[in-house]
Structure 1
Amino acid sequence: MPTVLITGASRGIGLELTRQFAADGWTVLAACRDPDGASDLRAVSGDVTTFSVDVDSADSVTALKNAVGDRAVDVLLNNAGIIGSRGSFDDLDYDAWAGAMNTNVFGPMRVSQAFAGNVLASDRKQMVFISSKMASIAECGGGAYVYRSSKTALNMAVKCLSVELGSKGVTAMMFHPGHVRTDMGGATAPVLPTESAAGMKGVIENLTTSDNGRFLNFDGTPLPW
């Protein structure tokens, strides 16, 4: 069966993706900041191996790469991310903004650089990034400067990556997971983690190289840049 490496796997969307891929027999490499304290993650049955990673830290990403080694990774699923400061224009927190850029942009790019060889050695050669429709410039509703701009920057970085690695057979794409009922999305969010994860998993399993560089909703619907 294929192998998927998931960051931010201890809760929310990442945890549910881990559950669903494992339930279907995939080999899951589940990475999060504190796997020893992630009781829900450790309770997932199936071929699941947990790893520690802080995507904010280049040294931590290198340690994850060393732990995984050269094994092929069919799907690299960059899920780890933060909402950041919700300040308005008059109340922008630049330290929080920089922190969000580090986690939401630099983090997944660090992981992708580290594991590019693992992905290229696989059959599927897929890199998947959890973005947000809040990254859309065409449909920007204002506010949420920190989160919106970090996810927009991620989309551009992934688009550049898709152009560069597409010639090597890599399919790199971005998802809006929906407004999901998680700690980040809130208790009243309309989309359940099970629904979001099932939708994205179904799309991932049917990706082709023609999907390289695309920005999709969790149900596979294209989204405007």
Structure 2
Amino acid sequence: MASTVFITGAGKGLGLEFARQYAQAGWRVIATCRAPDKSSELQALGVETHPLDVADFDAVSALAKTLRGTPIDLLLSNAAQFGEAQDFGQVDMEDWATVLRVDVMAPLALAQSFVDHVAQSPGRVMAFLSSRMGSIADNGSGGFYIYRTAKTALNMLVKNLAVDLEPRGIVAVALHPGWVKTDMGGPNAPLEPPVSVAGLRTVLSRITDRDTGKFYGYDGVEIPW
């Protein structure tokens, strides 16, 4: 039986590339985004799609109920927002709250709603797209208040999940995709999505129970919290 991956934010960028590569590898792909019918590239993959706004927690719970009984080997939390003004003295608090809802609260809502689906699978992995910018140890340049704090909070969320879900045999990891040419990363980023995703898939293919609660880059190198 093919393994199953559930992906959020699959309409474009890294999420779309994850859907493409896992589909090509023979996985059952459950791809979600706010408007999958408007993503011609996603539709062209022929994978299972569901509309989902991760910031709508009731919708997340409802989709979990729709998919009740479906084992999910890999829950891939990819949907995220970056935020607008990021410098000290310019941060918009409402924008910050919106980013925290999408980048931190939504991943927890996803984990809580789909924990049974993951627990009943052979794979039992939850992976969360984070960023090296969320590393406290690696922060030597400051700035980017909204994005940095959101990803740092996400990293703590992953560490908590690793501890709390260990009795159920679930592995939780944070992943850094690198600086990638996407809508978020911009045109000057050095990495193309296929390269980043291929690296992350290699990392995920090697994940064991000993990796739970860790933070890895697309190159397989562990990143300090």
Q: CA RMSD in A?
A: 0.9
Tell me which residue corresponds to 1:221.
221
Instruction: Give the whole-Å Cα distance in 1 for the aligned partners of 2:178 and 2:172.
Output: 19
- Residue 153 (structure 2) aligns with: 153
Aligned to 1:24: 25
What displacement does 1:137 show? 0.6
- Structure 1 runs of 4+ aligned residues shifted over 2 Å read none
Mapped pair 1:166 → 2:154: no
Query: Deviations along 1:162-197, whole A, 9 cap, x unmatched?
Result: 011112211100000000000110011001100010
SS in 2 for 1:142: coil
Matched residue of 1:43: which SS? helix
The answer (yes or no) to whether the contact 1:80–1:104 under 8 Å persists in 2 is: yes
Identity %: 44
Q: Which residue of 2 aligns with 1:36?
A: 37
For each residue in 1:36-75, what CA deviation from the matched residue of structure 2 results, as whole angstroms up to 9, or x when unmatched?
1111100114xx2001111111111022212222210000
Mind listing any 5+ residue stretches in structure 2 that lack a counterpart?
none
1:211 aligned onto 2:214: no
Gaps of 5+ in 1: none
Mapped partners of 2:202, 2:77: distance in 1: 17
Counterpart Cα distance in 2 of 1:23 and 1:86: 38
**C-alpha contact (below 8 Å) 1:85/1:147 kept by paired residues:** no
Which residue identity lines up with residue 12 of structure 1 in the other structure?
G
2:75 is matched by which residue type in structure 1?
L
Shift of 1:206: 1.6
Residues matched between the structures, number:
223
- Do 1:7 and 1:32's aligned partners in 2 also have CA atoms closer than 8 Å? yes
Task: Quote the offset at 1:85 in angstroms.
Answer: 2.1
Please report the TM-score for the alignment, with normalisation by the length of structure 1: 0.97
Q: Which residue of 2 aligns with 1:64?
A: 63
After TM superposition, the score normalised by the length of structure 2 is 0.97
